[in-house]
Structure 1
Amino acid sequence: MKKSYVILVTFLMAGYWIALTAQTLPRAGELIITEIMANPEAVSDSNGEWVEIFNSSDHAVLINGLIIKDEGSNKHTITSSADLIIQPGGYWVLVKNKDTTANGGVQGNYQYSNFTLANTADQVILCLSDETIIDAVAYETGWPLNAGASMELHPDFVQATANDLPGNWFPARIAYGAGDKGSPGQPNPAVMGGSQVITTATVDIFPNPNSGHFILDVKFPRATSGEIRFANTIGQNFSYVSFKNMLQLHEVIEAGFISPGIWFVQVVAAGQILTTRLVIEK
């Protein structure tokens, strides 16, 4: 009996420990701002604004006591008598009005107050009670601010630094509820316009032809992730370098590993391939 009692106590203590560790506050970069509806059209701003956050960590986080604010006077402390926990890989939607009949059909997880999103330029700052920033997004002219559509962070750039760049956001294209566009509480679709990333990218090889020593310059219209490959006319190909969140690549290449002949430099990004002819003469 004594041994069983000890095992039971140990089991109960282990369960209590799991419960405690499941309710930890997020560290910087663990919660990511992934979608912002600043200018709804189907309903008023006072009812239809919302912000989506994503738990990028491998553990549940407690958001009681966190603050959502801007750089001005807007500030709201997340308050609830119940524990508000976002599971790993989970999305939460913070809404201005939780009533789906008034907010355009958004299923919100939490209703805030004293926080308003300007239509042209503003900030969304998520921080701890001591003002330690977990994530922040500052948008302005040049960001994809379309009336009736949220700004969605491309799924390739769900990081606390990558969401600082306007090129990693795109206007939502899928309608919800009363007709505004967005994907509140769901992963954002990869519809940033990958073909545009590639078709407007530039690739320069200098000199070309060359003897195996050349400079490769690639410029993208927005921060892009992908890889550079080399391929020849008989189907041989290999990856040369991978890149992440880059606007420009500048590579000085000593191509002793490439045999003479006609090759193709392939820039692979956003599900598209841009090919440029390369001639190696020796």
Structure 2
Amino acid sequence: MEHGTLEQWTRVGNRWKLSASEAGTASLVLLPEHFINPTTGCTFRIRWHQGFSGSNANFTRVHWLLDSVAWATAPAGSVPATGWSELDEYGPLSFMHLGETGTNDSILWYGLGGNGFWDSVVSPINNAHFPDSFDIELNWSQQAGSDSAHITIARIFEDESRPIQEFGVTAEHGLPVGIGFSVQFTASNADAASIEILEYGPFVADTLAPDLRRARLRAGGGMQLAFSEPMNPEAGHLIVSSTLDSLPIIWFDPPAHRGMALPALFPHYLGLRIRLTGFKDFNGESMADTTLTVYPVKSVAERGDVLITECMIGSPVQGEWIEILNASDLAIDLHDLSVWDGSTEALKSLAPRMGWDGVLTPGQRAVLANHWRPWMVEKEISFFAEIQPSMTLSNTGETVGIQSFEGNTIDEFTYNNGWWHSSETIGLQKKHPIGCTLEQNWIALGDESESSPGIISPMEWPKDTIIQLVTESAVALGQGTGMFTLNQPLHPSCEAVVKGGWSWRDEHQPNALFWRIDSLAENSAWQITAAGVQGCFNSTSSTIKATLDVGIFPENGGLIITEIAHDPKGISEAWGTFVELLNPSKIQTVELSGCTINGIPLNAMPSLPPLGRVCIPIQLDKEHGRVELQNHRGKIIDAAAYSRCWHPKRSQSEAGLSLVRLQPQAGRVHPVAWWAWTSSAETATGCSPGVADLAES
């Protein structure tokens, strides 16, 4: 049965939503089809929604209707929707009023006082405060024949999750036989309130076992416990596994969800292993024995404690978000962290949501975003925090970081749009979670289905993965100068120390460590030792060594271009385009490392022995071009232009076009100084790679 200002409400199922055309008041009286009476008791749940900030002009009330005879025989009875004075048309009831200042408002529960005003407090509802708009679920349980009601109140978030903390009260109250709901509202809130009856019937005993929702070691001492429902303060023991001591528990406003255990010795640096046994809820249902480790919250987060492991830079469905991992061995409170937005050079605060207290224990992950979005329900994200004020991840590149409240960088990485191919979705997944933040440790995501917000990605390496740092090569690049090539990029924080010299790195060659030792001379054996070398995928540094037999570094005439194969065909096609080099010395070994041909480094080439030749594969224009050979100082030590027109019988060539220097030692580069292969009739190969040509003199 329903009555009241029904024209101001829209009903769908058992939900009534305010749908008024102008400012004013609206009220409902809802009576069940079957009367509730003292022999049945009652159990009911309602969803109470207020979509605006409370004030004197905007508030809601839930009314508990008493005396079934009075309400059944006077169906036109109304509820006090706005005032605080008793009127003749009001039936017997009490009501809960919510909406005072709009910030941290509490539920006020009033009955009729002896002075004719609704100002008699039925029972205080301790700690039940709600900001601006809210959705709450209220549960009322009253056994048959009892004049005592047990009430719990929980906030409901957008994803239907509940906070760890709920509110409870036990109060003397008559049996409600119906429910009223009223709203006072301004024009802008004419559709911003609703009530839904989730359950209303005779008393049903609680058969759900309680469980532990949170155990947190507090910085000032003690361990805070939070349960899924109000607990019996007389039942249960909390035992420390290491000592078997049973800790005393102080309950907050029993019957309560929360209590404080008091360890005799608070562990400042170690996790505390505990066991809960014998606990029961307020209705006598037993909680399963529970064993867990509780971690102290770290007072100040340090570099590497929290890591960015995944981010969505742009997605039509998921928008933008950042995933962080607690990589430390202590709990971290997100209230003590902030996000660095490199695009605006500003710090953004973090506000834990969805009932989470913001404490991230070792190994746990959280998702940071500007707002909660519906897709997060499907991903079953456990820990979520809002970024305030909002930030935008640039799809062209920026620096994103996590900082402590003291302003220290905890983690940071810089990306750019060269890290991914053009796509509607742009995401990045870190490969080694505790590895470095260089591009080589990130995987580009081109589809939302590849993302894994809040959980370990299948593309992520195990946290304890270690790739041993290995020197793949060591070469001399010039007088006293050389380079180690490693099997992984250097860690950005690596500060290598070279014995007798110094080191540096090149961002374009992330796997290379460059060094210089002024005491080293050419044409001798070099001993190189570098300490403190750390790879991208290592948490510790290493010492690397190398011994090099170094020849001379070429100057003018010390390395000569002897053949240019710019258009191989037929039987010479297998060689491809190449440039042949000659060491003209009869006694000296020449170092190719440090030299370049047309800008291409020759660092991977071995030393060239006396009179030795080597062919360098290189892209060449088939028609014409120029080949330049530069030494370790960038000086041009040989160069030659070439052209198809230098081949007199170029139209008859079947084995391709290659030019051979007739007199390598003379250094002449004029066209007449080169001999042109013209046809396969003159040679079986069309070129002479790596050996002296018959045309040379």
Q: TM-score, normalised by structure 1?
A: 0.57
Q: Give the structure 1 partner of residue 187 of structure 2.
A: none
Whether the 8 Å contact between 1:153 and 1:188 is mirrored in structure 2 is: no
Distance 1:99 1:16 in 2: 43
Matches within 5 A, 1:189-200: 189-190=458-459
Whether the 8 Å contact between 1:98 and 1:106 is mirrored in structure 2 is: no
Q: Give the structure 2 partner of residue 127 of structure 1.
A: 403
**TM-aligned CA distance change 1:63 to 1:250, over 3 Å:** same
Q: Give the structure 1 partner of residue 634 of structure 2.
A: none
**Correspondent of 1:117 among 393, 407, 413:** 393
1:252 partner amino acid = A
**TM-aligned CA distance change 1:216 to 1:121, over 3 Å:** closer
Counting helix residues as a fraction of each chain, which structure ranks higher? 1
Q: Structure 2 stretches of 5 or more lacking a match?
A: 1-244, 250-260, 273-293, 462-470, 476-481, 492-532, 538-542, 549-697
Greater than 4 Å deviation, 4+ residue runs: 7-12, 18-21, 102-106, 202-206, 215-224
1:34 partner amino acid = T
Q: Give the structure 2 partner of residue 252 of structure 1.
A: 546
Query: Residues 54-103 of structure 1, C-alpha deviation per residue, up to 9 Å, x if partnerless?
Result: 11111211111311122325432123596311111111111233122489
Is residue 364 of structure 2 the alignment partner of residue 87 of structure 1? no
Distance 1:21 1:15 in 2: 16
Matches within 5 A, 1:229-248: 244-245=535-536
SS at match of 1:48: coil
Q: Give the structure 2 partner of residue 139 of structure 1.
A: 415
Query: Residues 101-140 of structure 1, C-alpha deviation per residue, up to 9 Å, x if partnerless?
Result: 4899573612223211111111212112231211111212
Overall identity of the aligned pairs, in %: 20
1:187 partner amino acid = I
Q: Give the structure 2 partner of residue 39 of structure 1.
A: 314
Q: Give the structure 2 partner of residue 182 of structure 1.
A: 451
SS at match of 1:92: strand
Distance 2:338 2:431 in 1: 25
Distance 2:375 2:459 in 1: 29
Distance 1:98 1:64 in 2: 18
SS at match of 1:245: coil
Matches within 5 A, 1:23-38: 23-25=297-299, 26-38=301-313
Find the structure with the greater CA-based Rg: 2
SS at match of 1:14: coil
SS at match of 2:405: coil
**TM-aligned CA distance change 1:74 to 1:180, over 3 Å:** farther
Distance 1:13 1:89 in 2: 26
1:78 partner amino acid = L
**Correspondent of 1:49 among 307, 316, 320:** 320
Distance 1:23 1:102 in 2: 27
Distance 2:248 2:377 in 1: 48
Is residue 431 of structure 2 the alignment partner of residue 154 of structure 1? yes
Whether the 8 Å contact between 2:295 and 2:361 is mirrored in structure 1 is: no
Structure 1 residue 50 displacement after superposition: 0.5
Distance 2:348 2:360 in 1: 18
**TM-aligned CA distance change 1:14 to 1:181, over 3 Å:** same
**TM-aligned CA distance change 1:185 to 1:223, over 3 Å:** farther
Whether the 8 Å contact between 1:216 and 1:250 is mirrored in structure 2 is: no
Q: TM-score, normalised by structure 2?
A: 0.25
**TM-aligned CA distance change 1:119 to 1:105, over 3 Å:** farther
SS at match of 1:188: coil
**Correspondent of 1:17 among 258, 266, 276:** 266
Distance 1:15 1:151 in 2: 46
SS at match of 2:266: helix
Q: Give the structure 2 partner of residue 60 of structure 1.
A: 331
**TM-aligned CA distance change 1:15 to 1:33, over 3 Å:** farther
Q: Give the structure 1 partner of residue 590 of structure 2.
A: none
1:152 partner amino acid = Q
Structure 1 residue 145 displacement after superposition: 6.7
**TM-aligned CA distance change 1:9 to 1:129, over 3 Å:** same
Aligned residues: 207
SS at match of 1:167: helix
1:150 partner amino acid = G
Q: Structure 1 stretches of 5 or more lacking a match?
A: 1-6, 193-201, 207-214, 225-241, 255-282
Whether the 8 Å contact between 1:153 and 1:168 is mirrored in structure 2 is: yes
Whether the 8 Å contact between 2:351 and 2:385 is mirrored in structure 1 is: no
SS at match of 2:393: coil
Q: Give the structure 2 partner of residue 99 of structure 1.
A: 373
Structure 1 residue 189 displacement after superposition: 3.3
